[in-house]
Structure 1
Amino acid sequence: MTEQNETLLNLRVITPDDYPELAALMDMVYPDIGGAWPKATIQALVNAFPDGQVCIEDNGKLVAAALTIKVDYNRYASKHTYKDIVSDKEIAKHNDRGDALYGLDVFVHPEYRGSRLGRRLYEARRELCRALNLKAILAGGRIPGYRDHANLSVNEYIDKVKRKELYDPILSFQLANDFDIKRLMHQYLPEDKKSKGFATLLEWDNIFYEEDTVSIHEAEKSIVRIGVVQWQMSTARSLEDLLSQAEFFIASLADYQSDFALFPEFFSAPLMGLAPEKSPVEAIKFLAEFSEDIRNRFSQLAVTYNINIIAGSLPVQEKNRLYNVSYLCHRDGSIDEQYKIHITPHEKRDWVLDGGDTIKVIETDAGKVGILICYDSEFPELGRLLAEQDVQILFVPFWVDTKNGYLRVRTCAQARAIENECYVAIAGSVGNLPRVDNVAIQYAQSAVFSPSDVYFPHDAIIAEATANAEMMIYADVDLNKLKLLNTEGSVNNLKDRRLDMYQVKTLNK
């Protein structure tokens, strides 16, 4: 191998002129199964699918290569043999209309093994699969190490390789490159004595694959802009006064092309100051009288400003019972609601609120979202139920009066982001309301959190407001990164759950 400081690697497509070097390399790597492919076969591959044939050269010397074709996924995701891929005349059966890649071969010069050249070629193949919007990469994988373990059944051998109790030069490498074993294939390549004719059908799924859409409007949105309002609690002279303040923030976030505007829990509380003589129970019922008008006005603003609005939370009276409800006003005019599930001791004691009994993921034009109102964020079961429904963004409108309370909400929100592999936005209120009992003071530092992994900020904070200052923040979140995290993250919190030991079940009515 070239000395380290003289190595100059270059990944490029294969040309017909590369055949002599390519053939010499194949003869060196595969003396036991026929050596090099005929020149006509390589020429046909280069002509039919040039982007699929790549090599790595070191200072002009060809030292590794990967050969690939396109195939019909449904045909080759089931059992087949090598002859189904390569005809008797040794011409690979490339299908230009295929919806999957098929890895014919990856081979590396013996002197370069350990330099991760094979990994580079596999990554190039994955990038090609994504770029062409294909479903998957398929491959028939030999298991040459099996010859040395004839005392084991082939299934036992594969299981031990998967558990890293045994090493197979091909299968171990493919498993390390995120391929999954789909099935065992017998007599795949009968002349392969080392594998005793067996091969594994391997698959790598393209998580970004999208079925053809009728129009661009049906394509799934990837980059989503979240706007968060850190709301100033101050004296309100009227409902219109409060709504004017809200519209200012909605308009401002819409100017920044935000997809969502998140308001805090009980942001309408200043209206209780219009009746300062009422008891706490009477005051919250008085506040509930405004909630329908606020919800309807927010819905109008969502349509007017083309932005989805999470209207914090509002007290709602239904059949002599009071609930704490968050409304999601879609920009198409529709409205969804999420009732607060867990009621704090203060809400029970002073306002006699009841909890809801349904938790749900809400489909929007900018992803699948859930709402956990303040205290609800401190119960991991709710976040996990939403994760079971593929939630991508959690919105947490909150109201707290002390930094202790704020840190509970913040810490739990960050935990929900990590354990459920989603984004979490929290919005709180600041300031004070001297004329309103039970909502007199506020503490907040609103933020948008991400999971904690290599695809995200080092501190898992995408955006953060200044503590206790009226302001708005916005943050762009990439939903595709959640897909990468789920499949290729340094940890896989959702995948690695021990469902044989525990499960979370919902009893939604």
Structure 2
Amino acid sequence: MNHRVYPSPHEHDVRWSAAHVESHLRHFAEGQWVAVSDKRVVASSSNLLVSFGRNPHRAHTWPGITDNGMFYNHDPEGDTLYGADTVVDPDHRRRGIGSALYAARQELAERRNLRRIVLGGRLYDYHRYADQMSPEEYARRVEEGDLTDLVLSFQLSRGFCLRSVMPNYVKDPNSLDHATFLEWSNPRFKARYRKPRSIRVSAVQYAMRRISSFEGFAGQVRYFVDVAAGYGSDFVVFPELLTAQLMSFIEVKTPKEAIRKLTSYTEALDELFVELTREFQVAIVGGSHPMVYGDHIENVATLYLPDGSKHRQPKLHITPNERVSWGIEGGSSLRVFDTPKAR
């Protein structure tokens, strides 16, 4: 049946062999289905679980995402159901079989609490328009209803959204090797906590440039958080006594007066880092900053989390210079903080 749907020898990438089917069942039997009529298989759907990580809409190829159709890269902990293939015997089309198989995918995604379903869809009729428009324009016009495509029009009717068109996806003369990137987002998905396998920490090498206002300080801090977030960091760590830079515009006569003046910026500092951690969705260790506790000052590091919470840890073992020149005293206890990424 699979070979009837893909009769061209150029489509050998997606032609299943017995070894393929056995591998699918071995790795993810729950995601493999067939439709049977008169004891004969007339349709099938093959799927695996994957994790797209921080870039869920990145371009890919069919051989790459399915490990050449063998599903060796099936991820049991993946949050995305990848639809590797769905085929219906030409003699049994327009009977609702394809719709039933797509519904089975959506039911599986909801039952397993998966974030999404992703497909690389054929542009089945694109070869008829290839001399008139690009594959991107063709897909857009099908999406808008100006054109009808045997595969894409059906997939859009099943609630999938067109994200992009991918070149060199699979050998397919009809699509000229292109495919649509289609996504169905599970409306019942509930975020699940899973201990990360790794985290990325950005340690900021911060230059103490002369500034003339707190706004200048905030702009420099924002730059580093923006860059770290762009690299996919989970944590951004600033250096000790980060706010010493503010002394460049504070007018005082002694070091102790300067430290005492810095403590007045605690509220502004908290507002800055809470705003940044929410905006960029990264945890921030805001270096350290002198804070008043009762009748004394401590050198305190604060962890800011994207939910807006703040967690403080005073420095325990201070230097003689901190004690004598700045009047800073050490903290009394060590705290451990749980975050969504690490402890």
- TM-score by length of structure 1 reads 0.36
Q: Distance in 2 between matches of 1:168 and 1:48?
A: 33
Match of 1:114 in 2: 94
Match of 1:163 in 2: 144
Q: Distance in 2 between matches of 1:128 and 1:71?
A: 14
Match of 1:378 in 2: none
- CA shift at 1:110, angstroms? 1.0
Q: Distance in 1 between matches of 2:136 and 2:172?
A: 18
Match of 2:50 in 1: 71
Q: Distance in 1 between matches of 2:81 and 2:139?
A: 24
Pick aligned residue for 1:172 from 123, 135, 153: 153
Pick aligned residue for 1:50 from 29, 32, 37: 29
Match of 1:153 in 2: 134
Pick aligned residue for 1:60 from 8, 14, 39: 39
- CA shift at 1:118, angstroms? 0.2
**1:26 and 2:6 correspond:** no
Match of 1:202 in 2: 182
- CA shift at 1:108, angstroms? 0.6
Match of 1:437 in 2: none
Q: Distance in 1 between matches of 2:126 and 2:76?
A: 35
Structure 1: gaps spanning 5 or more residues:
1-24, 215-509
Instruction: Give the 3-state SS of the residue equivalent to 1:68 in structure 2.
Output: strand
Pick aligned residue for 1:136 from 96, 99, 116: 116
**1:104 and 2:92 correspond:** no
**1:186 and 2:162 correspond:** no
Q: Distance in 1 between matches of 2:37 and 2:173?
A: 32
- CA shift at 1:39, angstroms? 1.2
- CA shift at 1:165, angstroms? 2.1
Identity of aligned residues (%): 32
- CA shift at 1:159, angstroms? 1.8
RMSD: 1.7
Match of 1:263 in 2: none
CA contact (8 A) 1:101 1:134 kept: yes
Pick aligned residue for 1:36 from 11, 15, 18: 15
Instruction: Give the 3-state SS of the residue equivalent to 1:128 in structure 2.
Output: helix
Q: Distance in 1 between matches of 2:43 and 2:128?
A: 27
Partner amino acid, structure 2, of 1:59 = D
Partner amino acid, structure 1, of 2:192 = D
Match of 1:83 in 2: 63
- CA shift at 1:86, angstroms? 2.8
- TM-score by length of structure 2 reads 0.52
Partner amino acid, structure 1, of 2:185 = D
1:227-242 aligned at under 5 Å gives the runs: none
Q: Distance in 1 between matches of 2:156 and 2:149?
A: 10
Q: Distance in 1 between matches of 2:150 and 2:20?
A: 26
CA contact (8 A) 2:25 2:32 kept: yes
Partner amino acid, structure 2, of 1:102 = Y
Q: Distance in 1 between matches of 2:81 and 2:25?
A: 15
Partner amino acid, structure 2, of 1:26 = N
- CA shift at 1:77, angstroms? 3.1
Q: Distance in 1 between matches of 2:80 and 2:51?
A: 6
Instruction: Give the 3-state SS of the residue equivalent to 2:172 in structure 1.
Output: coil
- CA shift at 1:213, angstroms? 5.8
CA contact (8 A) 1:77 1:138 kept: no
Q: Distance in 1 between matches of 2:97 and 2:52?
A: 27
CA contact (8 A) 1:181 1:202 kept: yes
Q: Distance in 2 between matches of 1:136 and 1:145?
A: 26
Match of 1:415 in 2: none
Partner amino acid, structure 2, of 1:104 = A
Q: Count how many residue pairs are aligned between Structure 1 and Structure 2.
A: 188
Q: Distance in 2 between matches of 1:121 and 1:54?
A: 8
Instruction: Give the 3-state SS of the residue equivalent to 2:153 in structure 1.
Output: helix
Q: Distance in 2 between matches of 1:76 and 1:197?
A: 21
- CA shift at 1:176, angstroms? 0.8
1:273-422 aligned at under 5 Å gives the runs: none
Partner amino acid, structure 2, of 1:30 = Y
Partner amino acid, structure 1, of 2:28 = F
- CA shift at 1:76, angstroms? 5.2
Match of 1:241 in 2: none
Which whole-Å deviations, capped at 9, do the CAs of 1:249-301 have from their partners, x for residues lacking one?
A: xxxxxxxxxxxxxxxxxxxxxxxxxxxxxxxxxxxxxxxxxxxxxxxxxxxxx
Q: Distance in 1 between matches of 2:25 and 2:109?
A: 17
CA contact (8 A) 2:66 2:84 kept: no
Match of 2:203 in 1: none
Structure 2: gaps spanning 5 or more residues:
195-343
Instruction: Give the 3-state SS of the residue equivalent to 2:118 in structure 1.
Output: strand
Q: Distance in 2 between matches of 1:202 and 1:104?
A: 12
- CA shift at 1:133, angstroms? 0.4
Partner amino acid, structure 2, of 1:164 = G
Which whole-Å deviations, capped at 9, do the CAs of 1:119-156 have from their partners, x for residues lacking one?
A: 00000110000000000000111102110002112222
Instruction: Give the 3-state SS of the residue equivalent to 1:49 in structure 2.
Output: helix
**1:125 and 2:105 correspond:** yes
